[in-house]
Structure 1
Amino acid sequence: MDNPLQNIEQTFEVNLPQQDSLDDYLDEVLPTIRQWSEDLREMKFFVMDGGKPWLEIRDDPGFMEQVLHFFNEGGEYLQSVDGNVSRGKWRLLDQTNKIIIEQGGGGGGRGGGSAAKSELYELAFLNAGFFILKKHGDQGRKKKRKYLFMGYEPVVKGLKWLDCVELLFNEYRNQWGSFQWAVVAAVVLVLALLLYSLF
């Protein structure tokens, strides 16, 4: 015989829907958690003194490199691929949640040559643990990755990409769990008031 409390708990349980790729998972999860995202103007979430190490997360089995991204004060951008560092710069576009990342080209665009690559991204999600940017344009049509998915290195290092998606989805689960407890508390309070008024 089923435990009624377990059945009630399963009714409120929120599971991560199955998808085929990292981009598909992010397409599914991001609309659900976007409301808890910070804004790019809140730079304290992705910039810190000494550099905040954002580890790039991909689902490509051939992707073996450790790629770290640093968005430093003053617009300095550093990318480390297995310890080999390239410089560039980043800047926010005013009144939008868009960021341009320039990299390569000698001096990273600072008098040492023009930037070799300049890319426009929109913020998809940002908090203290995750920084997700969506590349502008129809990347799926070109068979390229839509998202630059990064996790704060001390939080995600050693995790597989699907574990990182689960960790990201926990943002929603945690908020949903808080909502559930609030509803249960409200129902108990209403029932207690009804019982009190009857006696």
Structure 2
Amino acid sequence: MDDRLLDKIAEPFNLKLPEYTSMHEMIEEILPAVRSFSEPELAAEDSPLYENNWVRMTDNPGDTIVQLHRFNRGGEIQIANDGAMDSLSHQIVSPKRIIIGQSLYRDSFLYELAFLDNDFLILKRHGNEANFTNKYLFYAVEHIGSRLTWDEALEKIVAKYRDNSMPWWLILVVLLLVGGAVIYLS
């Protein structure tokens, strides 16, 4: 009986994620729920952007290459594609906008910060969404991105902040009041 009561109380707080056909679709669904937990800007002195090695997540079938990205403060992104080294350039142009490409003005795109914490980075391409298909760049820190698929990583974001947003103290107070009322009336 007690288990069922607790399950009924916690039920509204349990988010059940449906199956998604694409990474972009799932990002669209979870961003409104987790955006408030994001770092406010890319350019902060202690920004996780520069502190972590990021694995670029993709939902392209058959793409098994692990792309490890390291953003340097000097404007370079060092990339290891299954160990083969490459590089891109980046420049933060405002607290929430970054240019990423071959060079700053050749084959580059403007992205806006959609979400950033110590474990995940989501950048949204700026512009008319009808003109391009790859709307998001999604990164996870190395220890998460190298062992999880894109959907498991996105579920991890939701699980991480679902627990933080749950008003446990409120539920505890209600349970104590109900318990006190039951004892008092007995």
Q: 2:135 aligns with which of 117, 127, 146?
A: 146
Higher relative contact order (CA 8 A, sep 6+): 2
Q: How does 1:69-80 map to 2 (within 5 A)?
A: 69-80=69-80
Match of 1:112 in 2: none
Indicate the percent of aligned positions where both proteins have the same amino acid.
33
Contact 1:22/1:59, CA 8 A, preserved across alignment:
yes
CA 1:85 to 1:3, structure 2 compared with 1: closer, same or farther past 3 Å? Answer: same
Structure 1 vs Structure 2 CA RMSD: 2.7
Match of 2:43 in 1: 41
Q: Which runs of 5+ in 2 are unaligned?
A: none
Q: Please give the TM-score of this superposition, normalised by the length of structure 1.
A: 0.78
Match of 2:25 in 1: 24
**Deviation readout 1:12-36 (Å, 9 max, x if unpaired):** 3222244321101000101110000
Q: Does 1:165 align with 2:154?
A: yes
Secondary structure, in 3 states, of the residue corresponding to 1:150? strand
CA 1:9 to 1:188, structure 2 compared with 1: closer, same or farther past 3 Å? Answer: closer
Cα distance in 1, alignment partners of residues 84 and 4 from structure 2: 56
Contact 1:33/1:171, CA 8 A, preserved across alignment:
no
Cα distance in 1, alignment partners of residues 74 and 15 from structure 2: 41
Q: Which amino acid aligns with 2:156?
A: L
Match of 1:136 in 2: 126
Q: How far off is 1:185 after superposition?
A: 2.4
Match of 1:121 in 2: 111
Q: Does 1:8 align with 2:9?
A: yes
